[in-house]
Chain A
Amino acid sequence: MKIEGTETLHAPRDRVWALLDDPQALASCTPGMQELRPTGPDEFEAVLSIGIAAVRGTYKGKLRITERTPPERYAVQVEGSSGAGFVRAVGVLELEDQGAQTGVRWSGEVQVGGALTLGSRMIPGIARMLAGQFFQCLDRKLQEGSA
């Protein structure tokens, strides 16, 4: 299924890019992220604990940055699985220079399998909620940094 959204971050694009390029900042802002370990250039192993509908699980997976065009475009590929099933997703993030702030357009294509499919109709809603939390966290960090 396809999901997408737009956000506004309150910092210039170069600073947003620098933050997005920092795995630790990413990890600390990703809801449920318990571990993010680099395994190679632009490759990470991640452990994520998250609940989707009635199905809560800890997912072990791989995260790969497949495209990086500073400071405007960033694409990732995620694969994770747990006893509750698997998630595969590709996501694209585009940053638009708006002077003192930055427009973010994000989109993703998510596929789930196993028990997770029981909650699949809720995934777009959950994804939007999680994305909202993620960007709020980034925005907070950006504003803290500038203070």
Chain B
Amino acid sequence: MATRWLGAPIKRNEDPRLLVGQGLFVDDVQLPGMLHAAVLRSPHAHARIRRIDVRRALEHPDVLLVLTHGDLPPSLREPLPKLIPHPDLKHHKTQYALAPDKVRHVGEPVAFVVATSRYAAEDALELIEVDYEPLPAVVDLEEAAAGRPALVHEDIGTNVAAHSVQRVGDYEAARARADLVVARRFVVDRGCASPIETRGVVAQWDPRARQLTVWDSTQAPIPIRNGLAALFGLAQKDVRVIAPDVGGGFGPKIMMFYPEEVLVPLAAMRLGRPVKWIEDRREHFVATNHERTQIHDAEIALDREGRILGVRTVFLHDAGAYIPYGLIVPIVAECTLPGPYRIPNYHAEFRAVFTNKTIVSPYRGAGRPHGVFVMERLLDLAARELGMDRAEIRRRNFIQPHEFPYDVGLIYQDNAPLVYDSGNYPAALERALEEVGYSRWPEEKARYRAQGRRVGLGFACYVEGSGIGPYEGCRVTVEPSGKVYVATGVGTQGQGHATSLAQVVAEALGVDVRDVHVVTGDTGAFGWGTGTFASRAAVVAGSAVHLAAQAVRQKALQVAASLLEASPEDLELADGRVRVRGAPSRSVSLGEVARAANPLRGVIPAEWEGPGLEATRYFAPPRGTFSHGVHAALVEVDPETATLRFLRYVVVHDCGTVLNPLILDGQIHGGVAQGIGGSFFERLVYDDSGQLLSGSFMDFHIPTAVEIPEVEVIHQETPSPLNPIGAKGAGEGGVIPVPALLAQAIEDALDDLELEILRMPLHPDALFELIQKASRRRP
């Protein structure tokens, strides 16, 4: 019996290398003669640039190049490319490589210095004199939407970049016949991903080969290559972009382009020497994209049995100073909101609004936590008003297992209809409730209360859109050594692609997973693809890997059949060999087959379709696939200090076929940690003049192992019918329901205070105020 690789909890192929410090991150790239760059950034949120004087910086003996907007070639003086257009996005304003005449957020690049060391480059920044005329800063989202106190982009006459409406059925009519309508305002504040590795770029120009090589901590090396080729007038084949090991991506590393991604290559080409720029943490807080601020005015209409008749949300989305990434985050928010529930009438409407703050683009969850927070809160509030059990109201509204494919009636972020492919929502909730002891909870809670402890039980349900197109590809090659080499375009930022994708290949070819070597994120190895985002690598690239591996398998059987003088149907692949079934002594190694497939002389049959044990295949899903899950937790609240302690944290998760449960657990653990951080500890606070006040780890508190509970993960598997391996995305499920769960758990723990938690993230100080206010209300 052949070893099963797919679905096995094997340890990660990449870890031995990473654990002994043999990773190759961008900052590990050291090249002879390499120069170092630093960026002069705007200290103002909104200001006109009257004059920039770089003379003294140029006089610095260690400085080789100083660039301001006027020094750029024409293609880089224009706003950088519009990434994802949308018909509702009327004003698709994108960022500049260097600010021309106006800065629109703190941290926007104004000048770029290259010197023999980073130390000298930083010194030279201080020698540049910029004369700014400060303008009123657009900070408050509602004020911004009304065009006050200024316009971020004067030429468009508004701060509203887009106004978009999606409707299912007739919400107004549903509201008119409802027994209960619950309406609230929900606010989700800014946050950011904080990967351990900040951004970095190294570029090298070979003037003889006319080849540009760029190491970039990007999640999308192939689009970066294509964009650089276009901006610099080079052939795509002459630009190689390598996203080597990347120390965490989470979304923000997929912007195209960050200014440094064009400035570093430009400097390397101008100077004929390699140039390195590594973002420091202080830069990262203002220069790498943020996420999250949305204000939802939402309501739900129900009948008296708790059946949802309709939901409406009208919300504002803070885009920041530019909107290169288009409307992805607000679209994902409105499309995630319906979740696992049947909502016959739905009205979703948003305005994406420019403010003088760092650009917003997707960060793990990417609008999903917002949607789930609004929906789950509405259900909690409705259950309270109806005097109904909070699990029961959900049971009454779940889409049932026999209703798939289920058309939600919206258009998703991939411009395809939002159709859930498969799932079992009631089963996930029941399992989570059972695991966390929901049926015994009233007695448990009373027992805690008798000990003077405030413990709450919270749970939240979600559906996670993932695995969207357009496509990914893969090449699988068996070399004469018997080792298998796999190349795909999706980069890895710690997700374990070198293992999970290797498992797909090992399963198809019957080889040891350690003999499968996966190269990702190097355009020199594989040049077609879009990137790692939207929890799509395992689904889309994984399927391409599967198709390529299956093609190699067929070829191996064909070639081996002639070597073994047997029929391909009588052969099997196992332990790195092709064997005649039932006659294991008649076998050849896969390496021998590879050699035979590439003869030096003779003829290769037409049906081999070329030499070698190699195949390239692409996978283009018709639309996204939808994972789902339920998180449930017991949370103890200390009402004196307003701090939290998790006593249990259970995740029931269904992402279709599990490729590697160990890696999947890791994804979920990390996601829950980021979800807890973003719900209770981290917050980006701006003052009225658009200055970021919490721009360091002294004030932006990332949770540590002390704050993060042990996470118990239960996998359920409802395979996706949309791809050959049945996989669904798993990258974001850990984060998505955390704010909703936390709010419900805290309200439950302090139920005598009748709190309503409508804003996230919640902090100890904010929770303290809520508790104080509620206590005053109820003497």
A interface vs B, CB < 8 Å? 81-83, 85-86, 88, 111-115, 117-118, 120-121
Return chain A residues, CB-CB under 8 Å to B126.
82-83
Are the C-beta atoms of A113 and B44 separated by less than 8 Å? yes
> Which of chain B's residues has its CB closest to A88's CB?
B134
B706 at the interface (CB under 8 A from A): no
**In the complex, what distance in Å separates the CA atom of A113 from the CA atom of B687?**
10
Q: Can you name 30 A-B residue pairings with CB atoms under 8 Å?
A: A81-B43, A82-B126, A83-B122, A85-B43, A86-B43, A86-B44, A88-B134, A111-B689, A111-B691, A112-B691, A113-B43, A113-B44, A113-B106, A113-B691, A114-B43, A114-B106, A115-B282, A117-B106, A117-B687, A117-B691, A117-B692, A117-B693, A117-B695, A118-B282, A118-B696, A118-B698, A118-B699, A120-B687, A120-B693, A121-B693
| Interface 0/1 of B666-707, CB less than 8 Å to A | 000000000000000000000101011101101100000000
B125 at the interface (CB under 8 A from A): yes
**Chain B nearest Cβ from A50, distance in angstroms:** 15
| Among all A-B residue pairs, the 8 with the closest Cβ atoms | A114-B43, A83-B126, A113-B43, A117-B691, A85-B43, A118-B696, A86-B43, A113-B691
| Chain B residues numbered 636-689 whose CB sits less than 8 Å from any CB in chain A | 687, 689
Return chain A residues, CB-CB under 8 Å to B44.
86, 113
Are the C-beta atoms of A118 and B689 separated by less than 8 Å? no
Find A113's partner among B122, B689, B696, B699 (CB 8 Å cutoff). Answer: B689
Are the C-beta atoms of B43 and A118 separated by less than 8 Å? no
> Which of chain A's residues has its CB closest to B127's CB?
A83
**In the complex, what distance in Å separates the CA atom of A118 from the CA atom of B125?**
19
Return chain A residues, CB-CB under 8 Å to B699.
118
**In the complex, what distance in Å separates the CA atom of A121 from the CA atom of B693?**
8
**In the complex, what distance in Å separates the CA atom of A86 from the CA atom of B45?**
12
**In the complex, what distance in Å separates the CA atom of A114 from the CA atom of B134?**
13
| Interface 0/1 of B591-628, CB less than 8 Å to A | 00000000000000000000000000000000000000
Return chain B residues, CB-CB under 8 Å to A114.
43, 106
Return chain A residues, CB-CB under 8 Å to B134.
88
Return chain B residues, CB-CB under 8 Å to A120.
687, 691, 693
**In the complex, what distance in Å separates the CA atom of A85 from the CA atom of B107?**
11
Number of contact residues on B: which range applies?
Answer: 10 to 19
**In the complex, what distance in Å separates the CA atom of A83 from the CA atom of B129?**
10
> Which of chain B's residues has its CB closest to A85's CB?
B43
**In the complex, what distance in Å separates the CA atom of A83 from the CA atom of B110?**
13
**In the complex, what distance in Å separates the CA atom of A85 from the CA atom of B130?**
12
**Chain A nearest Cβ from B696, distance in angstroms:** 5
Given contacts A113-B44, A118-B699, A120-B687, 8 further A-B contacts (CB under 8 A): A82-B126, A86-B44, A111-B691, A113-B43, A113-B106, A114-B43, A117-B687, A121-B693
Return chain A residues, CB-CB under 8 Å to B106.
113-114, 117
> Which of chain A's residues has its CB closest to B128's CB?
A83
**In the complex, what distance in Å separates the CA atom of A85 from the CA atom of B43?**
6
**Chain B nearest Cβ from A86, distance in angstroms:** 5
**In the complex, what distance in Å separates the CA atom of A83 from the CA atom of B122?**
9
**Chain A nearest Cβ from B605, distance in angstroms:** 69
| Interface 0/1 of B140-179, CB less than 8 Å to A | 0000000000000000000000000000000000000000
**In the complex, what distance in Å separates the CA atom of A121 from the CA atom of B692?**
12
> Which of chain A's residues has its CB closest to B130's CB?
A81
Interface core residue of A112, A117, A120 (most chain B CB under 10 Å): A117
| Chain B residues numbered 487-534 whose CB sits less than 8 Å from any CB in chain A | none
**Chain A nearest Cβ from B449, distance in angstroms:** 38
**Chain B nearest Cβ from A23, distance in angstroms:** 25
| Chain B residues numbered 104-139 whose CB sits less than 8 Å from any CB in chain A | 106, 122, 125-126, 134
**Chain A nearest Cβ from B463, distance in angstroms:** 39
**Chain A nearest Cβ from B559, distance in angstroms:** 64
**Chain B nearest Cβ from A46, distance in angstroms:** 16
> Which of chain B's residues has its CB closest to A120's CB?
B693
> Which of chain A's residues has its CB closest to B122's CB?
A83
> Which of chain A's residues has its CB closest to B126's CB?
A83
> Which of chain B's residues has its CB closest to A115's CB?
B282
**In the complex, what distance in Å separates the CA atom of A45 from the CA atom of B687?**
28
**Chain B nearest Cβ from A87, distance in angstroms:** 10
Return chain A residues, CB-CB under 8 Å to B687.
117, 120
**Chain A nearest Cβ from B190, distance in angstroms:** 15
Are the C-beta atoms of A83 and B693 separated by less than 8 Å? no
**In the complex, what distance in Å separates the CA atom of A81 from the CA atom of B122?**
16
| Chain B residues numbered 49-94 whose CB sits less than 8 Å from any CB in chain A | none
**In the complex, what distance in Å separates the CA atom of A103 from the CA atom of B115?**
54
> Which of chain A's residues has its CB closest to B45's CB?
A113
> Which of chain B's residues has its CB closest to A113's CB?
B43
Return chain B residues, CB-CB under 8 Å to A81.
43
| Chain B residues numbered 24-56 whose CB sits less than 8 Å from any CB in chain A | 43-45
Return chain B residues, CB-CB under 8 Å to A113.
43-45, 106, 689, 691
> Which of chain B's residues has its CB closest to A112's CB?
B691
**Chain A nearest Cβ from B60, distance in angstroms:** 13
**In the complex, what distance in Å separates the CA atom of A111 from the CA atom of B687?**
10
Return chain A residues, CB-CB under 8 Å to B43.
81, 85-86, 113-114
Return chain B residues, CB-CB under 8 Å to A86.
43-44
| Interface 0/1 of B697-720, CB less than 8 Å to A | 011000000000000000000000
> Which of chain A's residues has its CB closest to B131's CB?
A81
Return chain B residues, CB-CB under 8 Å to A82.
126
> Which of chain B's residues has its CB closest to A57's CB?
B126
> Which of chain B's residues has its CB closest to A86's CB?
B43
**Chain A nearest Cβ from B64, distance in angstroms:** 20
> Which of chain A's residues has its CB closest to B692's CB?
A117
> Which of chain B's residues has its CB closest to A121's CB?
B693
Return chain B residues, CB-CB under 8 Å to A88.
134
Interface core residue of B43, B122, B691, B696 (most chain A CB under 10 Å): B43
Return chain A residues, CB-CB under 8 Å to B282.
115, 118
**In the complex, what distance in Å separates the CA atom of A120 from the CA atom of B685?**
12
**Chain A nearest Cβ from B104, distance in angstroms:** 14
Return chain A residues, CB-CB under 8 Å to B698.
118
> Which of chain A's residues has its CB closest to B285's CB?
A118
**In the complex, what distance in Å separates the CA atom of A86 from the CA atom of B129?**
12
**Chain A nearest Cβ from B723, distance in angstroms:** 47
**Chain A nearest Cβ from B2, distance in angstroms:** 58
**In the complex, what distance in Å separates the CA atom of A61 from the CA atom of B340?**
59
**In the complex, what distance in Å separates the CA atom of A70 from the CA atom of B699?**
44
> Which of chain A's residues has its CB closest to B40's CB?
A83
Return chain B residues, CB-CB under 8 Å to A112.
691
Return chain B residues, CB-CB under 8 Å to A85.
43
**In the complex, what distance in Å separates the CA atom of A67 from the CA atom of B291?**
45
Return chain A residues, CB-CB under 8 Å to B691.
111-113, 117, 120
> Which of chain B's residues has its CB closest to A111's CB?
B689
**In the complex, what distance in Å separates the CA atom of A121 from the CA atom of B696?**
13
**In the complex, what distance in Å separates the CA atom of A86 from the CA atom of B699?**
20
> Which of chain B's residues has its CB closest to A117's CB?
B691
**Chain B nearest Cβ from A16, distance in angstroms:** 34
**Chain B nearest Cβ from A136, distance in angstroms:** 31
> Which of chain A's residues has its CB closest to B690's CB?
A113
**In the complex, what distance in Å separates the CA atom of A76 from the CA atom of B45?**
24
**Chain A nearest Cβ from B31, distance in angstroms:** 28
**In the complex, what distance in Å separates the CA atom of A99 from the CA atom of B4?**
96
**In the complex, what distance in Å separates the CA atom of A83 from the CA atom of B38?**
12
**In the complex, what distance in Å separates the CA atom of A81 from the CA atom of B53?**
15
**Chain A nearest Cβ from B77, distance in angstroms:** 26
**Chain A nearest Cβ from B115, distance in angstroms:** 15
**In the complex, what distance in Å separates the CA atom of A115 from the CA atom of B125?**
13
**In the complex, what distance in Å separates the CA atom of A113 from the CA atom of B135?**
13
**In the complex, what distance in Å separates the CA atom of A111 from the CA atom of B693?**
12
Find A118's partner among B45, B122, B695 (CB 8 Å cutoff). Answer: B695
**In the complex, what distance in Å separates the CA atom of A120 from the CA atom of B696?**
12
**In the complex, what distance in Å separates the CA atom of A111 from the CA atom of B43?**
11
**Chain A nearest Cβ from B177, distance in angstroms:** 53
CB-CB under 8 A for A83 and B692, given A115-B282, A118-B282 = no
**In the complex, what distance in Å separates the CA atom of A38 from the CA atom of B43?**
27
**In the complex, what distance in Å separates the CA atom of A4 from the CA atom of B689?**
20
Return chain B residues, CB-CB under 8 Å to A121.
693
**Chain B nearest Cβ from A126, distance in angstroms:** 16
Return chain A residues, CB-CB under 8 Å to B696.
118
